[in-house]
Amino acid sequence: MKKFIPTLLTSLMILSCGQLQASDDAKTSTIAASSPKNIIMIIGDGMGPAYTSAYRYFHDDPNTPEIEQTVFDRHFVGNSSTYPAAESGYITDSAASATALSTGIKSYNGAIGVNVNKQPVETVLEYAKQSGKRTGVVLTLQINHATPAAYLAHNVHRYNYNAIADSYIDDGIKADLYFGGGWKYFIREDRNIVDEFIQSGFHYIDNYSEISTIPANKPVLGLFAETGLPWALDDTNKYRLSMMTQAATKQLENDNGFFMLIEGSQIDYGGHARDIAAAMHEMDDLAKTLEYLETYVKEHPDTLVVITADHSTGGLSIGKKTERSNPNINSKYLWKPEFLRSMSMSPETIAKRFIDKELSLTQLSELLSFKITATDMENLQQAKLADHQIVKQFKLLATDVKKSKRKPRPYQSVFNVITKIIDVKTNTGWGSISPSGTHTGIDVPVFAFGKGSEMFSGFQDNTDIAKKIFTLLGKK
Ligand code: MG
Ligand code: ZN
């Protein structure tokens, strides 16, 4: 806030310089003329600075001497702090951070578009809609997940998924386009919210192949999965965020402009799971999305694109302490992402297959795209036995005890061994010590291009990003 006010005053002074005698109307039109018509806000969930750096090396063409620049490198403008309201300490969750980015206020971890007193606060998406712009959300998790919900809803807690889904109709429809997952919450026994959208004039699709058939100028709801979409590595379209974004920009275009929120949602899931392979392929889909938007902004220069992260996840480190005894690692300073590039299936899916079938060392090596050792294979067999035991023991629990516990994932131990093997092979490190991972309090990078992008340079707080967008939307 303190940082923002001088910036805002300076920019207003610059805008009104030379027209100090001008009427309020003239000032308004000066601000309006400098504002982009379309604003695209992008959040890489969990995408701390280690992720954009790691992506550079993942993306590098090893056949050229230079390390190729990424789309992130091209548009880096500054940093952002991410801490939540004081009552939640220094480390934010996705809800508090998305609330900061959508409203400009700090709130507690778990808050969806509400302040520390649990009162609703207006979001940039709501303001854009009210000022006559079209609005849309595009993401790879369910559309009522924390990040989009903080732009579209007001709720005391992010995990009130059904209530948040209900509010998408009950509080008035706030977006003209929704692309993501969420059948579980929108087609329920007690309520069919998809039907309610259709009755409100929405075109509904539930398959990527239907994206090309959406009628022009019609609001659209596209739900493509029960909850989140498959990992990029497993999806029928590895570049699904990019594909949905291309369709969304076309669908939202209109004379008054649009505000769109895009989220690369599952980078965070990769970080929590300490799964570098999944995380890098999610980054790749987000990078493809940005590359498309580069061409979009060239054709539509009155568009602003701002990209940041809500926080960093997992304490990813590019390189970790060398295990001297490991013959695969021969240098302290080494990160080897080449094995990740050629993977074509997520470690999670490989783990499920290993549980379901007898896979040989050779078959596993093929799936992982590098040769595993006999010791790796032994560890995997042991993990498989451990998983069988965990599932067996859970089944034996009394029904009421079962309800109070989280159902174990029948492949968790195998998955942990697979990701550990990949970490050793690539020399990837993680700060978090448990498979559920953690968020870290490090500042996140900010990228921007297009009209008004210079406003986002330097150091800022995540709340400043919302304030700057409100200013660009013309809010006084
Ligand atoms: Mg190169
Ligand atoms: Zn997270």
What are the boundaries of each domain within the chain? 36-315+438-472, 336-426
Token pair listed for 143: 């559309």
| Gap between the Cα atoms of 390 and 417, Å rounded | 16
411: amino acid identity, one letter? Y
pLDDT at 332 (0 to 100) = 73
Ligand showing the shortest atom-to-Cα distance for residue 56: 1
Ion ligand 1: residue ranges with CB closer than 5 A = 60-61, 64
Cα(397) to centroid(ligand 2), Å: 30
Q: What is the pLDDT of residues 137-154, one digit of tens each?
A: 999 999 999 999 999 999
Distance, in Å, from the CA atom of 175 to the CA atom of 220, rounded to the nearest integer, reads 9
Res 29: pLDDT: 44
Pairing mode, strands 203-205 and 134-142: unpaired
For the domain made up of 336-426, the CATH class stated in words is: mainly alpha
Indicate if the pLDDT at residue 16 is higher than 80: no
**Strand arrangement of the beta sheet that strand 258-264 belongs to:** 203-205, 220-223, 177-181, 134-142, 258-264, 38-44, 303-309, 444-450, 76-81, 458-461
What separation in Å is there between the alpha carbon of 69 and the centre of ligand 1?
Answer: 9
What spacing in Å lies between the alpha carbon of 264 and ligand 2's midpoint? 12
The DSSP annotation for 310-357 comes to S-EETT-EES----TT-TT---SS---THHHHT--S-HHHHHHHHHHS
Q: Which of 193-197, 335-339, 420-424 has the highest mean pLDDT?
A: 193-197
CA of 74 to the centre of ligand 1 (A): 16
- 23 pLDDT more than 90: no
- Distance between Cα 284 and ligand 2 center (Å): 19
Active site residue 88: no
| Ligand minimally distant from the alpha carbon of residue 311 | 2
Smallest-distance ligand from the CA of 60? 1
Q: Length of the chain, please?
A: 476
Q: Which residues pair with 42 in a beta bridge?
A: 262, 307
* CA distance linking residue 473 with residue 37, whole number of Å: 9
295: buried, middle or exposed (CB in 10 Å: 19+, 13-18, 0-12)?
exposed
What integer pLDDT is reported at residue 10 of this predicted model?
39
Given a contact cutoff of 8 angstroms between Cβ atoms, the answer to whether 27 and 15 are in contact is: yes
Binned at pLDDT 50, 70 and 90, residue 33 comes out as low
CA–chain centroid gap for 394, Å, is 33
**Among the CATH numbers 3.40.1390.10, 3.40.720.10, 3.40.50.970, 3.40.50.720, which is that of 36-315+438-472?**
3.40.720.10
153 in Cβ contact with 171 (< 8 Å): yes
C-alpha 29 chain-centroid distance: 35
Centre of ligand 1 from the C-alpha of residue 279, in Å: 21
For the chain, percent of residues with pLDDT exceeding 70? 91
Question: Which ligand is closest to the CA of 93, given by its number?
Answer: 2
The H or E element spanning position 6 is: helix 4-16
Q: How would you label 77-95 residue by residue, b for 16+ Cβ within 10 Å and e otherwise?
A: bbbbbbbbbeebeebbbbb
pLDDT of residue 320: 86
pLDDT, tens only, 257-280: 999 999 999 999 999 999 999 999
Report CA(329)–ligand 2 centroid distance (Å).
30
Mean pLDDT of the chain: 92
Q: H or E element: which one contains 222?
A: strand 220-223
pTM beyond cutoff 0.85: yes
Query: Which among 94, 242, 312, 413 is annotated as catalytic?
Result: 94
Instruction: From 237, 176, 167, 240, select the one nearest 203 (Cα to Cα).
Output: 176
Query: Is the distance from CB of 202 to CB of 221 less than 8 angstroms?
Result: yes
Torsion of CA 349, 287, 420, 343, to 10 degrees: 50
